[in-house]
Structure 1
Amino acid sequence: MLRRLRSVLITCCVLAVPFASGSARANDIEELAPFKMIRSLQYVQDSVVLGDHSAIEMQRFMLGAIDKRLRAADASVFDDPRNVDAALVYAMSGGNPETLKYLADHDVSGNFDSRVTDALRQYLSGKGGLIVENLSKAAPEYRNGRIGPYLYLILGNATSQQDPVGAMKYYDWARLTAPGTIIEEAALRRSVFLSVQAGEPDKGFRYALAYARRYLTSPYASQFADVFVELAVAHFDGAAQEKISEILDFMDVPRQREVYLRVARRAAIAGKQELAKLASERAEALGADDASQPKVLASFYAGLASVPSNDVFAATASLASISDAALSPRDRALRDAAKAIADAVVRPPSGESLTQAFATKPDRPAETDRSAEAGETGSGMSPFGDAPTPKVAAANVAATAVEPDGDPAHDGFVAKGRSKIEEIDALLKGEGQ
């Protein structure tokens, strides 16, 4: 509490600087220690993720002021380790990476640890994979220091693609040594995502619960919602329902409804009918505030889930009753694709279709597989499960509806196979004689 109070007072001092007169203002900026300015920046950033979005503009202002102070500082300023840490924290908090390079290049006293500065410069230039070995050796020395949580957060980011489980351990240390801060918010949010990648849903739900308790007012909460939907859809079962309900209880009704709609959409695309229907029903039940759009979407996703079931006729009628104006372009494309499938299911068989089993031309499963794969590209990496665009959907329908006249590669393969069979038959006849 005392630390927070001091940070508030320091922030007020920094805010007062622009309103001071010319020479006094310049002297104040030049004499203010970088580590004091960094404390104010940390307080502002923590305030942002705790719900004070008005502090975002102040964050931009302070980053600019700290950049000027660091570049104008005398080399002797960095004889104080707190100011060295301040420069590193500034770089890891969204500051100008060129400023860190400038300070490291002009460091003749050895105040900056080259292992750390080199790793940060590579990481900030997009070469995170190259820093893991060196930074993982240097980070334990700073574990309990001022820059420790930042270094472990960066290590988690750098190793997340190759080693999700190891990255979650780095995130655990970062958030436990910096509770209530922007570091904890980022570590929790990213840990939810990695738990999906690593196939560890229990950890994911624990991280999600901790995030929901603290950071639902963060401007990054929408990213958390994305990965939480992916977690809920990928690992939905009886036990998970209680965990999902517990996490959603921390949200207000509109947010709960939005999450259920996202789950319903993602589940409908993934072919999880039970989950899509359940999420749609819960979203519709939460639409008691006379908001018609959520109810329409809930009915729409429930209809999608019913297409591959015994209720296909009712699903077709339900989908046809929804107007284009009530759906987004992505959902309209999804509805058109679902209607095409439903129409194909309920269409009476024709005389030609009854003789397909005796057709002389063999099926070509390779082409069918490619068409199916192309149709699923919309729901690939996005947690929302993007549907194919209308152009892609139309192309997929055309590919399945129009049978090409011939395939030279296929015909050649068949002809070659027939010639081999004829050769074998000739050999067998010769042996029989």
Structure 2
Amino acid sequence: MLRRLRSILMTCCVLATPFAIGNARANDIEELAPFKMIRSLQYVQDSVVLGDHSAIEMQRFMLGAIDKRLRAADPSVFRDPRNVDAALVYAMSGGNPETLKYLSDHDVAGNFDSRVTDALRQYLNGKGGLIVENLSKAAPEYRSARIGPYLYLILGNATSQQDPVAAMKYYDWARLTAPGTIIEEAALRRSVFLAVQANAPDKGFHYALTYARRYLTSPYASQFADVFVELAVAHFGGEAQGRISEILNFMDAPRQREVYLRVARRAAIAGKQALAKLASERAEALGADGAAQPKVLAGFYAGLASVPSSDVFAATASIAAIPDAELSPRDRALRDAARAVADAVVRPPSDESLTQAFASKTDRPVAHDAAAEGEETGSGMSPFGNAQTPVVAAADATEATAGEAGDPEHDGFVAKGRSKIEEIDALLKGEGK
């Protein structure tokens, strides 16, 4: 597979240079047909999500080469519907949106479907919500076409915020018509997220199991791990434990340990003490390879879970003993929050206690956003592998969000602690009357 991939890349490299194009034979020029170049790009992108991360740079190169070819193409090239599809697939695969605009603006022969190009241009400009009505009418006409899976993936993305259930149906069609591809990987990963949002655990576990079977080596797998953790924390217990274990069985020990650590962290923040301790114990039990970091983190999350309990003194001492170097900035912020909560819990109540405890927030580093999932547990070495970020396909792009000014999980932890303190003060004041 890798040998064939290198052969494709070398062919493109040779043919894409101005000198080579000028001296190419007729059959070499034919090899530069946009639809043939797109086939190579699809092969490379599918190889990336199937675990060949060395193909990421090839993907970047080919996007650039295809962009040049499309802009230099004679309008007559697009009389072939395959080349029209190639231009659309390029735009939906992380290509330059301006190239699609250029091609559609110069399309005097009507080779491009304006309904599709207009919808894609709006979507790529961040106006996905505006395309749902028009694209939902046009997409069925392309259901069996080469661009069909891409259109349904984009339609799912555009619909996801307003109607998660409908979006999952669009994702289902996209992935079922493009198995083993970057389209299926993106559709499955997004479907797990939407199942959590729609409180549909059965669907969520089904999608997660399918993803775990096929795409754990994808560079996007860390995003899947995060949404799977949300699903597991929300529905851990009863029959769900068996389904979670089934999914984890497709992971090696480091990945299982990473998932349990993330579950322990989320559970501790959510106040689910029993789950946090159970997940911490399982993560520690998977540390047979002698790695010290997972054991430290497992103890840390177990300590966080014990802060609101009767073991508050022991828990505070335990988490305070962990060196800063062993924790990520996010976990150091959580430790500071836990200390503040613990100090306020054991302090004798007074009328000004809440003001003194929470007059100002402790200075802390700004939390990383979703691009740093690998540091979620503080290990900095996530086995789900996102060390090198690939080119994000436009068909899998979501609306950009502004960077957070702080860690919302930290703030939530403090807010819950404040609520507990108010309850304690109210009880004590009531007893004093």
| TM-score (normalizing by structure 2) | 0.78
**CA deviation map 1:84-131 (0-9, x unaligned):** 111111111111111111111111211111100110111111111110
Structure 1 match to 2:386: none
Q: Which amino acid aligns with 2:159?
A: T
In 2, Cα distance between the equivalents of 1:71 and 1:250?
45
Post-superposition offset of 1:79: 1.1
Task: For 1:19-98, list aligned pairs within 5 A.
Answer: 21=20, 23-25=22-24, 28-29=28-29, 32-98=32-98
SS of aligned partner of 2:410: coil
Q: 1:303 to 1:5 in 2, by over 3 A?
A: closer
What is aligned with 2:402? none
**Correspondence for 1:388 among 398, 401, 410:** 410
Contact 1:30 1:73 in 2 (8 A): no
- TM-superposed deviation, 1:344: 4.0
Matches for 1:5-404 after TM superposition, within 5 Å: 13-17=11-15, 21=20, 23-25=22-24, 28-29=28-29, 32-346=32-346, 387-388=409-410
Q: Which amino acid in 1 is paired with 2:35?
A: F
Q: Which is worse superposed, 263-272 or 227-236?
A: 227-236
Alpha carbons of structure 1 residues 199 and 54: separation in structure 2 relative to 1, 3 Å: same
Q: How far is 1:238 from its partner?
A: 2.0
Q: Distance in 2 between matches of 1:208 and 1:372?
A: 41
Distance 1:179 1:5 in 2: 23
CA distance in 2 between counterparts of 1:240 and 1:54 reads 37
Higher helix share: 1
Shift of 1:313: 3.7
- Flag the structure with more relative contact order, 1 or 2, with Cα contacts below 8 A and sequence separation at least 6: 2
Q: CA deviation at 1:393?
A: 6.9
Contact 1:165 1:198 in 2 (8 A): yes
Equivalent position amino acid for 2:315 in 1: A
1:15, CA displacement in angstroms?
4.6
- C-alpha root-mean-square deviation of aligned residues, in Å? 3.5
Alignment check: 8 A CA contact 1:8 1:43 kept: no
Percent of matched pairs sharing the same residue:
78
Per-residue CA distance 1:324-368 (angstroms, 9 max, x = gap): 332223322322332343344445x5xxx5xx7xxxx8x999x99
Unaligned segments of structure 1, at least 5 residues:
402-433
> For the residues of structure 1 that align with 2:8 and 2:20, how far apart are their CA atoms?
19
Q: Tell me how far apart the structure 1 counterparts of residues 337 and 96 of structure 2 sit (CA, whole Å).
A: 48
Structure 2 Cα separation of the partners of residues 184 and 328 of structure 1: 33
State the SS of the aligned residue for 2:179.
coil
CA contact (8 A) 1:330 1:386 kept: no
Secondary structure of 2:218's counterpart equals: coil
Aligned residue for 2:95, secondary structure, equals coil
Contact 2:16 / 2:65 at 8 angstroms: preserved in 1? no
Q: 1:371 to 1:210 in 2, by over 3 A?
A: farther
**Structure of higher CA gyration radius:** 1
Provide the C-alpha distance between the structure 2 equivalents of 1:341 and 1:88, rounded to a whole number of angstroms. 54
In structure 1, give the amino acid aligned to 2:410: P
Deviation at 1:29, TM superposition (A): 5.0
| 1:408 alignment partner in structure 2 | none
Unaligned regions of 5+ residues in structure 2, if any? Answer: 377-406, 423-433
Residues 1:282 and 1:74: Cα distance change in structure 2 (over 3 Å): same
Cα distance change on mapping 1:90 and 1:334 into 2, 3 Å: same
**Matched residue of 2:53: which SS?**
coil
**CA-to-partner distance for each residue in 1:163-198, whole Å, 9 max, x for gaps?**
001000000000000000000000000001111110
Cα distance in 2 for residues equivalent to 1:141 and 1:371: 61
